[in-house]
Amino acid sequence: MQQKILLVFGTRPEAIKMAPLVKQFSFFPEHFNLKVCVTAQHREMLDQVLDFFEITPHYDLDLMKKGQNLFQLTADIILGMKSVLEEFKPDYVFVHGDTTTSMATALSAFYAGAKVCHVEAGLRTFDKLSPFPEEINRQLTGRISDIHFAPTVLAKENLAKEGTTSRIYVTGNTVIDALFWATQKLVNYEDEEIRYLKSIVDSSKKLILITGHRRENFGDGFLKICRAIKRFAQRTEVQIIYPVHLNPNVQQPVFELLDDLNNVRLIKPLSYPAFVWLMNKSYFILTDSGGVQEEAPSLGKPVLVMRDTTERPEAVDAGTVILVGTNEELILSSCERLLDDHELYQKMAQSHNPYGDGTACERIVNALIN
């Protein structure tokens, strides 16, 4: 008898990490009746991922609105999921990570009597305001969930310390599955964005990739980040490429401080395949992204994380990541050290990725088959 599985996601990072799980479930039609629902908490960036991974959702709530806030978004997800859950009546609802989509969907599934499966469970900073609102989203989702798929042993231990008595599986992170799938496809794949990147990348210089979008860095934090980048850009042997998030709180300081620098390229946000291509070309990465902390080590790229806390301490312990916060001097000195200290660079680039071997989805699906 088939088990009815509903996978729900709404943002680009979720879509990337859930896409290989969609594919893995689809290999077993005799076991699973699979349906995919997107909330479209993000719209355009989500659609790019769906297109690249060749996924057509069965349900699309299309909830993204200009200027949406967390109050309205949470309410809209719960109400939107009600009709989907009543129509499909899934046995298991899979959510991912720490988004508002995941938290609100988990609550909706609980109301509907479905079992909640949490992919990338157990990540914690234990500071409810960092990152905001993600830390509380994942804690609430964890309390609701019936099955937890933890990416690491530490994540499992976090759940156990909170008194979790439901099933916990250590699987690795599905983002590595997605990354391996994408890099294989990119061997014979090129689109307009990748052609553009090829035209602007200066192969005679070391490419430094920068991303930044965290709410907790808005304001003074981004000013410090940009001042550090501006000073680092004085190094003529580097080329800095920064896909700038569309949020005005990011755009204003970035363009004000960095727009007129010769070896800094400020570009539009990239689709997933173009971003993977650029990560692969980079020398090291300066970011506040959680996903990049997991992906970059599998490509051999050291990461400097512009956050004071991380729910991914395994990367710090493994030596693939260094926390630099938003301290201007620490960001600058860490960038310069990675550029100048070949031994440190090689140590970080060659360290083992603690987030898995690309078979997380296989482990997740097997847990339901067995």
Task: Please identify every residue annotated as catalytic.
Answer: 98, 120, 134, 213, 215, 245
Helices (H) then strands (E): counts for the chain: 16, 13
Tokens of 84: 């989907």
Is the Cβ–Cβ distance between 280 and 247 less than 8 Å? Answer: no
Angle formed at CA 320 by CA 343 and CA 247, multiple of 5 degrees: 120
Q: Please state, in angstroms and rounded to a whole number, the distance separating the CA atoms of residues 52 and 49.
A: 5
**Beta-strand relationship, 115-119 and 92-96:** parallel
Q: What is the DSSP string of 337-356?
A: HHHH-HHHHHHHHTSPPTT-
Only one residue has tokens 């005005």, namely 248
Give the SS3 label for residue 276: helix
Q: According to the 3-state scheme, what is the secondary structure of 185-198?
A: HHCCCCCHHHHHHH
Category of 319 on φ-ψ map: left (φ > 0), alpha (ψ -120 to 50) or beta: left
Give the SS3 label for residue 117: strand
What residues does 322 pair with on adjacent strands? 304
Q: Please state, in angstroms and rounded to a whole number, the distance separating the CA atoms of residues 135 and 149.
A: 17
Is the Cβ–Cβ distance between 173 and 17 less than 8 Å? Answer: yes
> Which of 7, 86, 4 has the alpha carbon at shortest distance from 39?
7
Q: Please state, in angstroms and rounded to a whole number, the distance separating the CA atoms of residues 105 and 285.
A: 33
